[in-house]
């Protein structure tokens, strides 16, 4: 169906990304998956092509085009080639917006050129072993001591944490028994700060090309100059930025569902059973027709929300609806597609198996489907 999201500039950008993915990503992807991480060199290559600094203001080495549609194109083109660029996506779609919105001038000068060039890799650490969905329950503490905060705590499930040079850590700087959301602060922890250590690289069932790690903070002295935004304001900042993070998951979900459909159409036209192609069975046609219709419904909803996001008008509840619908659609679609591969669909060498295992996370991270329903229900006055 006709999409009304992109303009000529986005399509030019798409060509550049498509070429990059085909030449630099696809041939190396299996070895990166085996290593369990995207190498630093990918960020530097993307940076040198200008793909990481689109939203970074020109005076710091970026393009000054803060337009989320470029991020959408990047994900769509990766999915189209049956790969994902998870840690790049986290840096661009999730972490960079915090820097853009809350960094002061000195921080902009220190960090923005490296973010645009791909020399500085980032992560964001909200989740703790004891708290994920309930972010107001964060227990890591940061106690002011002169010109620094002394940070203690543990974070888990941190995407890109293994190579990150800068980690935005959400920590508690004060406690208000009347308001659990008050007193959270964003601190930028730098690689090499004494007391900052990386723990296990967690072994996952899918999205193997991105690292997910535990981080520990033991009396880390984080200069006050590394605080992002105001002390105690982090919950408000998260509320402002999490809708884009959720959209990003939805963008990947729809693009990967589409990739699954295309891979399946190609497969069923080739595979013969009972002397005819799998495509010739009415069940196959009906299954794929239903998947195609679901993808278009999700795409239309998503595109509407992308435009709202670009206009600065996307509400948290609408982002939650989009994440809920698109990720659940992806799960149904990928499962139906895999079924049509028969036993081959269960084999890791077939991309549909990877699309299936990669899909499972989208209903969990950036807020689970249940948390999305809680947010939507609240908007209904329930």
Min CB(93)–ligand FAD separation in Å? 11
- Per-residue mark of binding to ligand FAD, 201-240 (x: CB under 6 A): ---x-------x----------------------------
Min CB(269)–ligand FAD separation in Å? 34
Q: Does 368 bind ligand FAD (CB under 6 A)?
A: yes
Work out which of 151, 158, 242, 301 binds ligand FAD, going by CB under 6 A.
Answer: 158
Nearest Cα neighbor of 365 from 236, 242, 189, 187 is 242
By CB atoms closer than 10 A (0-12, 13-18, 19+), residue 198 is middle
Give the binding-site size for ligand FAD (rule: CB under 6 A). 21
Min CB(367)–ligand FAD separation in Å? 6
**CA pseudo-torsion sign 321, 75, 236, 166:** positive
Work out which of 127, 140, 241, 264 binds ligand FAD, going by CB under 6 A.
Answer: 127
Work out which of 36, 132, 195, 316 binds ligand FAD, going by CB under 6 A.
Answer: 132
- Angle 337-339-343 from CA coordinates, rounded to 5°: 125
Q: Does 319 bind ligand FAD (CB under 6 A)?
A: no
Name residues whose C-beta falls within 8 Å of residue 312's C-beta, 6 or more positions apart in sequence. none
Name residues whose C-beta falls within 8 Å of residue 301's C-beta, 6 or more positions apart in sequence. 321, 322, 325, 326
Cβ closer to ligand FAD: 90 or 264?
90
Q: Does 81 bind ligand FAD (CB under 6 A)?
A: no
Min CB(205)–ligand FAD separation in Å? 9
Cβ closer to ligand FAD: 71 or 127?
127
Min CB(369)–ligand FAD separation in Å? 7
Binders of ligand FAD among 256-295, rule CB under 6 A?
none
Cβ closer to ligand FAD: 63 or 184?
184
Q: Does 98 bind ligand FAD (CB under 6 A)?
A: no
* Cβ-proximal residue to ligand FAD, closest one: 132
- The Cα 61–Cα 222 span in angstroms is 26
Work out which of 43, 157, 235, 341 binds ligand FAD, going by CB under 6 A.
Answer: 157
Q: Are strands 141-145 and 148-159 parallel, antiparallel or unpaired?
A: antiparallel
Backbone phi and psi for residue 149, each to the nearest 5 degrees, phi listed first = -110, 140
DSSP H or E segment with residue 156: strand 148-159
Task: Point out which span in 23-31, 322-330, 351-359, 367-375 binds ligand FAD (CB under 6 A).
Answer: 367-375
Whether 245 is a known active-site residue: answer: yes
Work out which of 51, 126, 242, 353 binds ligand FAD, going by CB under 6 A.
Answer: 126
Q: Are strands 166-172 and 122-125 parallel, antiparallel or unpaired?
A: parallel
What is the full DSSP assignment across 179-237?
-TTTTEEEEEEETT-TTEEEEEEPP-SS-TTS-EEEEEEEEEEEEGGGEESSTTBHHHH
Alpha carbons within 13 angstroms on the beta-carbon side of residue 312 total 2
What is the full DSSP assignment across 315-342?
-HHHHHHHHHHHHHHHHHHHHHHHHTTG
Work out which of 238, 361, 362, 375 binds ligand FAD, going by CB under 6 A.
Answer: 361
List the beta bridge partners of residue 336: none
Task: Point out which span in 30-38, 214-222, 255-263, 358-366 binds ligand FAD (CB under 6 A).
Answer: 358-366
Q: Catalytic residue among 245, 294, 296, 328, which?
A: 245
Q: Tell me 238's DSSP state.
A: H
Catalytic residues: 245
List of residues contacting ligand FAD (CB under 6 A): 123-127, 132-133, 157-159, 204, 212, 361, 364-368, 370-371, 374
């Amino acid at each position: 169906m006709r999409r009304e999201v992109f303009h000529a500039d986005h399509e030019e950008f798409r060509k550049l990304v498509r070429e990059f993915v085909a030449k630099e990503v696809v041939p190396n992807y299996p070895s990166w998956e085996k290593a369990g991480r995207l190498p630093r060199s990918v960020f530097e290559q993307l940076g040198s092509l200008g793909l990481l600094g689109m939203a970074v203001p020109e005076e710091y080495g970026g393009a000054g085009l803060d337009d989320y549609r470029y991020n959408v194109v990047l994900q769509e083109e990766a999915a189209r080639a049956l790969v994902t660029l998870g840690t790049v996506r986290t840096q661009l779609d999730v972490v960079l917006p915090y820097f853009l919105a809350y960094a002061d001038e000195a921080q902009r000068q220190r960090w923005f050129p490296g973010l645009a060039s791909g020399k500085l890799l980032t992560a964001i650490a909200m989740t703790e072993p004891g708290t994920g969905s309930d972010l107001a329950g964060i227990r890591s503490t940061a106690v002011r001591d002169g010109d620094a905060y002394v940070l203690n705590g543990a974070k888990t499930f941190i995407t890109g944490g293994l190579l990150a040079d800068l980690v935005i850590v959400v920590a508690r700087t004060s406690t208000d028994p009347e308001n659990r959301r008050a007193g959270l602060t964003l601190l930028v922890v730098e690689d090499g700060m004494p007391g900052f250590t990386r723990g296990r690289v967690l072994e996952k069932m899918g999205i193997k090309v991105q690292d997910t790690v535990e981080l520990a903070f033991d009396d880390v002295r984080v200069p006050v100059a590394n605080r992002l935004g105001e002390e105690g304001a982090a919950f408000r900042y998260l509320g402002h930025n999490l809708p884009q993070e959720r959209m990003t998951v939805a963008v990947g979900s729809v693009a990967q569902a589409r990739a699954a459909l295309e891979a399946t159409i190609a497969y069923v036209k080739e595979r013969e059973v009972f002397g005819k192609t799998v495509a010739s069975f009415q069940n196959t046609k009906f299954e794929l027709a239903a998947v195609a219709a679901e993808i278009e419904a999700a795409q239309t909803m998503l595109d509407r929300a992308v435009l709202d996001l670009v206009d600065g008008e996307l509400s948290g509840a609408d982002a939650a609806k989009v994440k809920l619908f698109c990720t659940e659609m992806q799960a149904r679609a990928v499962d139906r597609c895999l079924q049509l591969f028969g036993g081959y669909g269960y084999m890791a060498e077939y991309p549909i198996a990877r699309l299936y295992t990669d899909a499972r996370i989208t209903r969990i991270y950036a807020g689970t489907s249940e948390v999305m329903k809680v947010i939507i229900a609240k908007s209904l006055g329930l």
